[in-house]
Amino acid sequence: MTRTLKIVVQITFVAIFLPAVVRADDQDVIDYREHIMKTLDEQAAAVGMILSTAVPGDNTAAHLRAIALTAQIALKSFEPKVLGGEAKPEVWSNWADFSKRMNEFAKKTAEMAALGKEKGSDDPALGEKVVDALSCKSCHDVYRKEKK
Amino acid sequence: MTRWGHFAIGCAILVAATASTLARADDQDVIDYREHIMKTMGEQAAAISQILQQKAPAENFAIHVQILAITAATAKKAFEAKVLGGEAKPDVWVHWADFAKRLDDLTAATADLASTAKAGGAAAAAPKVQAALTCKTCHDTYRVEKKK
């Protein structure tokens, strides 16, 4: 094999396999942020069931704490600009707005969790605080692709 | 049959049908609620696994473990209502003492993991992860295998 042919083979090899490696890394980034967002979904749904009295409220404070902790790390998981999953490209093209919303979400859910711990699920103020903190839809409408 | 006879039978059928529907709705709430909790643990365990494989940022490790510990502590309560269905096998309630003990063990192990991670980070807690997250041993006994 000539030297030129070797180089061509090497370039071809890199061209074939490098994108696969990049795609795998990108999928990890997408999977990771989706684990975080799905946790928020599941916990918010559990809180919704408690507030609608469909299930007992014994675990309320724990659910609110789980949401607050998850919200705290959510923004970090979107920092790598990797398009895909349910995130719209606007997450990164409007990063200042997206990150502001996520920071507000983290702040409000922390306050919500503190109130839940202090007052318990029976306090009327908690319901209002939860509704205010978990305004997921307003952000999803702008930054999340609708699930098929 | 007299007119009153028809009326009485009609009322009985209506009451039976309505009560049955209501019972199903309540039962579905119980199933949905415990599945929100179990899915949260699934998402968090997956995120922790990604971190340990260096596919996600290690700085969030302690928080994921904390969320897992908080959620594990809510799980037993969610299964106390004996409602068959979802992915739970009937054996959950047939062998409640064993099931409850396993969930208590999970709660204790994840709480210990969270303390270790908070104090020493992922490096200190990583060796304990495998012993703490023995999800499969419990799922093999108490969870209906998902259809693919």
Question: For testing the chain A interface, which of B27, B41, B60 should be mutated: the one with the most A CBs within 10 Å?
Answer: B60
Q: Match 């996600």 to its residue by tokens.
A: B56
| Residue B23 structural domain | 3-142
Q: Which residue in the set B29, B55, B66 is minimally distant from A28, CB to CB?
A: B55
By CB atoms closer than 10 A (0-12, 13-18, 19+), residue A78 is buried
Confidence of residue B146 (pLDDT cuts 50, 70, 90): confident
Tokens of A111: 């306050």
pLDDT in tens, B59-87: 999 999 999 999 999 999 999 999 999 99
Could you tell me the CA-to-CA distances from B106 to B47, B111, B120 in Å, in that order? 18, 8, 21
From chain A, the residues in CB contact with B28 under 8 A are none
By CB atoms closer than 10 A (0-12, 13-18, 19+), residue A6 is exposed
Q: What φ, ψ does residue A57 adopt, rounded to 5°?
A: -95, 15
By CB atoms closer than 10 A (0-12, 13-18, 19+), residue B79 is buried
Residues 6+ apart with CB under 8 A from A109: A64, A67, A68, A71, A133, A134
Nearest Cα residue in chain B from A73: B60
From chain B, the residues in CB contact with A29 under 8 A are 56
Structural domain includes residue B67 = yes
CB A51 within 8 A of CB A89: no
Residues 6+ apart with CB under 8 A from B4: none
CB B29 within 8 A of CB A53: no
What pLDDT does A121 receive? 77
List b or e across B22-35, with b for residues whose CB sees 16 or more CB atoms inside 10 angstroms: eeeeeeebbbbbbb
Calpha distance B77→B74 (Å, rounded):
6
pLDDT in tens, chain A (148 residues): 555 555 555 544 444 444 444 445 999 999 999 999 999 999 999 999 999 999 999 999 999 999 999 999 999 999 999 999 999 999 999 999 999 999 999 999 999 999 999 987 778 889 999 999 998 889 999 999 977 6
Structural domain includes residue B148 = no
Calpha distance B112→B125 (Å, rounded):
9
Could you tell me the CA-to-CA distances from B126 to B22, B46, B122 in Å, in that order? 46, 14, 6
Structural domain includes residue B147 = no
Structural domain includes residue B125 = yes
Count of structural domains within chain B = 1
Biggest alpha carbon–alpha carbon distance for chain B: 80
Contact of B54 with chain A, judged by CB distance below 8 Å, is answered with no
Structural domain includes residue B99 = yes
Question: For testing the chain B interface, which of A39, A51, A64 should be mutated: the one with the most B CBs within 10 Å?
Answer: A39
Q: What φ, ψ does residue B86 adopt, rounded to 5°?
A: 65, -140
Could you give all domains of chain A from N- to C-terminal order, each with its CATH number?
33-143 (1.20.120.10)
CB B60 within 8 A of CB B51: yes
CATH number of the domain within which B9 lies: 1.20.120.10
What pLDDT does A123 receive? 83
A45: distance to nearest CA of chain B, Å?
A: 7
How many other C-beta atoms are found inside a 10 Å radius of the C-beta of residue A86? Answer: 15
Helix (H) or strand (E) holding B53: none
